[in-house]
Amino acid sequence: MGRDTLTGSRIRERRLMLGLRQAELARQVDISASSLNLSEHNRRRIGGKLLVDLARVLAVEPSMLTEGAEVALLSTLREAAAALSRPVAELDRVDEFAGRFPGWAEVLAHAQKRISSLEQTVQTLSDRLTHDPHLAASLHEVLSTAAAIRSTASILAETGELEAEWRDRFHKNLNEDSQRLAESSRALVNFLDEGNTSADRRGVPQEEVERFFLEAGHHFAELETSDAAAQEVALQTLIEESGALVADAARTIAREALRQYCADARALPLAALSDVLSEHGSNPSAIARAFGVDLPTVLRRLGALPPEVLGQEAGLVVCDGSGSILFHKPVAGFALPRFGASCPLWPLYTALSRPQQPIHREVVQQGRSSVGFDCYAVSWPRLSADFDRDPLYHAVMLILPKREASDAAQSVGASCRICPMAACAARREPSLLKEGF
């Protein structure tokens, strides 16, 4: 029996685990108990809004009901195979492997997750060293002071007959430099210590904004109203009361992102959007037509919806005309560099080079997973053109995970530094992974 034909059994199993009576669950999703009974015995197909409602009441992802827990394991095993960058002969027997050797499959999946986590850490540290001017200046200060100390100490230790005047001067220099080294290294440790709450030591403001949105699950019930004035009040309260937003720059960035969220929520009200999604699915063009709004608004809005409303997980990336990432919402399996340069093969950048032309591509990320992603991207003029002014474009990309990539899926990376695609025309620099980092 196929995985998706056991949806009813999983619903029953989950309901019993929660100690919920069949009649009670049926009442909560607005169907009859007899109908639910048929479904639980896999005699009636479940999908669409009913599936989403059942998943919400049972507090699980819809995919857990349709595909079961083992899907995550299989996906991770395929990811491990893809990371090899060469064909694995038994890839089509991954189900059999996981079934016959569940213990070893778990070991392999755990190792793959750890590799992915370490790659992400490498990427993050690499981004910080390259793009954080505060960190670069601190390291320069430490190393320059260490160089002065080393040279001076070496002169004192190795010069046989040193005049008293020189000796005193070098002792004084050594004393000054050792104090400087102590201060600069302490400042560096404080800067790197993420637990420190001082505003100027928390790293780049985007990290705070990222934490703020992650803590909220990228969804703000307080802003889901058509009243713009009420939204603005709620927005200010959210920012004022957030423990994640410390630096003024972070608050400014978060305020701008939330105002965009408010405008999108007014254009596509949650309740009405939920109905359209149940009826038409998450096709961006259909939603844009149904509401008479532009595609960038639809993509941003879909990317910010909770999974229980959208019916699946979604990621989102917004960049400016230079390609710099302004905002991102991560999604499992699709690696997003935090602030550094990302892969130029992303449909996001195709959209940037073809202003206002909607782009839909199925992609697979090399070295990460065999899971595919439907990417919808479009750019829009944030500042319209005039006779004496060029337009200023931003681009947005919605990332929707698929169960498996098709053969037509376009290969992309995350960032050159952690990408295993050796023969890539878009490569900017060698991969750290290739060098056995």
Binding site for other proteins (CB under 8 A): 136, 139-140, 143-152, 154-155, 158-159, 166, 169-170, 173, 176-177, 429
| Separation of alpha carbons 238 and 253, rounded Å | 13
Local structure of residue 409 (DSSP, 8 states): P
In the bound state with other proteins, the residue whose beta carbon lies nearer, of 141 and 320, is: 141
Residues in CB range of 264: below 8 A, 6 or more apart:
297, 300, 301, 304
Nearest CB to other proteins, comparing residues 22 and 144: 144
What pairing do the DSSP bridges indicate for beta strands 410-412 and 359-365? Answer: parallel
Which among 344, 313, 347 is positioned nearest to 330, based on CA atoms? Answer: 313
Residue with Cβ nearer other proteins (173 or 278): 173
Q: Shortest CA distance to 197 belongs to which of 252, 128, 246?
A: 246
Q: How far is the CB of 118 from other proteins (least distance, A)?
A: 20
Give the CA-trace dihedral at 432, 400, 108, 80, to 10 degrees.
Answer: -50
Q: Is 358 exposed, middle or buried (0-12, 13-18, 19+ CB in 10 A)?
A: middle
Query: Shortest Cβ distance from residue 177 to other proteins (Å)?
Result: 6
Nearer to other proteins by Cβ, of 33 and 143: the residue is 143
Per the CB < 8 A criterion, the answer to whether 352 and 321 are in contact is: yes
Residue with tokens 């608004």: 297
CB nearer other proteins, residue 13 or residue 176: 176
How many Cβ atoms are within 10 Å of 434's Cβ, its own excluded? 12
Q: How far is CA 145 from the centre of its chain?
A: 38
Instruction: Report in angstroms how near the CB of residue 340 gets to other proteins at its nearest.
Output: 14
Q: Cβ closer to other proteins: 163 or 240?
A: 163
Q: How far is the CB of 70 from other proteins (least distance, A)?
A: 44
79 versus 177: smaller Cβ distance to other proteins = 177
Instruction: Provide, rounded to whole angstroms, the least separation between the CB of residue 123 and other proteins.
Output: 16
Nearer to other proteins, 6 or 432 (CB): 432
**C-alpha dihedral sign at 23, 28, 32, 34:** negative
How near is the Cβ of 201 to other proteins at its closest, in Å?
21
Of the pair 156, 290, the CB lying nearest other proteins is at 156
Q: Torsion angle, CA of 249/250/251/257, rounded to 10 degrees?
A: 110
- Output the smallest distance, CB 138 to other proteins, in A: 10
- What is the layout of strands, in order, in the sheet containing 392-401? 325-329, 315-319, 392-401, 373-383, 359-365, 410-412
Q: How far is CA 142 from the centre of its chain?
A: 33
CB of 337 to other proteins, least distance (A): 17
Please state the three-class secondary structure of 229-272 as a single string: HHHHHHHHHHHHHCCCCCCHHHHHHHHHHHHHHHHHHHHCCHHH
Residue 116 Cβ, how far from other proteins at the closest point, in Å?
A: 25
- Residue pair 94/74 in contact (Cβ under 8 Å)? The answer is yes
Closest distance of CB 130 from other proteins, Å: 9
- Distance of closest approach, residue 430 Cβ to other proteins, in angstroms: 9
DSSP 3-state assignment of 109?
helix
Are 267 and 278 spatial neighbours (Cβ–Cβ below 8 Å)?
no
Nearer to other proteins, 75 or 145 (CB): 145
Q: Output 20 or 433, the one with its CB closest to other proteins.
A: 433
Hey, how many other C-beta atoms are within 10 angstroms of the C-beta on 28? 14
